[in-house]
Chains A and B, each alone.
Chain A
Amino acid sequence: MRVGDLPLQEWEHSLANGGVAIQFGSFNIQIRSNLVGFVSLAHYLYQPYPLAAAEAIADFHVGISSPKGLRRWVRRQSIFSLDGRSPFAPYPIGHAFPALEWGINWCVATRAHHLLMLHAAVVEREGSAMLFPAWPGHGKSTLCAALIHSGWRLFSDEFGLVRPSDGMLLPMPRLIPLKNESIGVIRQFRPEVVVGPSFHGTRKGTVAHVRPPADSILRAQEPARARWLVFPRWVAGAPLSLAPIAKSQAFLMVATNSFNYEILDETAFRLVTEMVGNCDCFSLVYSDLDEAITALGELARSSHG
Chain B
Amino acid sequence: MPPADWDLLLRVARRAKLLGRLEVELSRTGLLGSIPPRAADHLRASRNVIEHRRTLVAWEVNRLLWALKDFDVPLVLLKGAAYVLAELPPAPGRIFADVDLLVPEERIGEIEGALIARGWIKTRLDPYDERYYRVWMHEIPPLRHRERGTEIDIHHRILPRTSRFRSAPGPLFEDARPLRNPRLRVLAPADMVLHALLHLFLEGDPDEGLRLRDLLDVHELLRHYGREAGFWDALPRRARQLGWERPLYYGLRFARRLFDTEVPDSVLEAAGQGAPSWPVRALMDCLVPAAMLPGHPDYPSRWAAIARLLLYLRAHWLRMPTTILVRHLAYKSWLRFRGVGKKVDLAQLDLRQQ
A residues with a Cβ closer than 8 A to B are: 28, 55-59, 61, 80, 83-85, 87-89, 91, 99, 102-103, 105-106, 109-114, 119, 202-204, 257-260, 262-265, 267
Name the CB-closest residue of B to A202. Answer: B347
A114 interface neighbour in B10, B48, B297, B348, Cβ under 8 Å? B48
B214 part of interface (Cβ distance < 8 Å): no
Out of A28, A89, A112, name the residue touching B346 (CB < 8 Å): A89
Which 3 A-B residue pairings sit nearest by Cβ, starting from the closest? Answer: A113-B45, A203-B347, A114-B44
How far apart are A64's CB and chain B's nearest CB, in angstroms? Answer: 11
User: Is B233 an interface residue when CB atoms closer than 8 A count as contact?
Assistant: no
Known: A83-B11, A83-B14. A262 touches B45 (CB 8 A): no
Distance of B225 from chain A, by nearest CB (Å): 32
- The answer to whether A114 and B42 touch (CB under 8 A), given A57-B3, A119-B351, A263-B353, is yes
Chain B's nearest CB lies how many Å from the CB of A183? 17
Considering the chains assembled together, what is the distance between the CA atoms of A265 and B48 in angstroms? 8
Q: Is the CB of B11 within 8 A of A59?
A: no
User: Closest chain B residue to A55 by CB distance?
Assistant: B3
In whole angstroms, how far apart are the Cα atoms of A17 and B300 in the complex? 16
Is residue B117 within 8 Å, beta carbon to beta carbon, of the partner chain? no
Bound Cα distance from A145 to B60, whole angstroms: 44
Within 8 A of A (CB), among B7-32: 7, 10-11, 14-15
- Give the total of B residues in contact with A, Cβ under 8 Å: 38
Q: Return the CB mask of B48-73 against A: 1 if under 8 Å, else 0.
A: 11011001000000000000000000
| B300: contacting residue among A84, A89, A263, A267, CB under 8 A | A84
Chain B residues within 8 Å of A, Cβ to Cβ: 2-4, 6-7, 10-11, 14-15, 36, 38-39, 41-42, 44-46, 48-49, 51-52, 55, 297-298, 300, 342-354
Q: Known: A55-B4, A61-B298. Contact between A203 and B345, CB under 8 A?
A: yes
- The answer to whether B349 and A109 have CB atoms under 8 Å apart is yes
Chain A residues with Cβ below 8 Å from B351 are 119, 257-259
Q: Give Cα distance in the complex from A42 to B187, angstroms.
A: 56
Q: How far is the CA of A186 from the CA of B57 in the complex (A)?
A: 48
Cross-chain contact of B348 among A119, A203, A263 (Cβ < 8 A): A203
Interchain CB contact under 8 A, A102 and B349 = yes
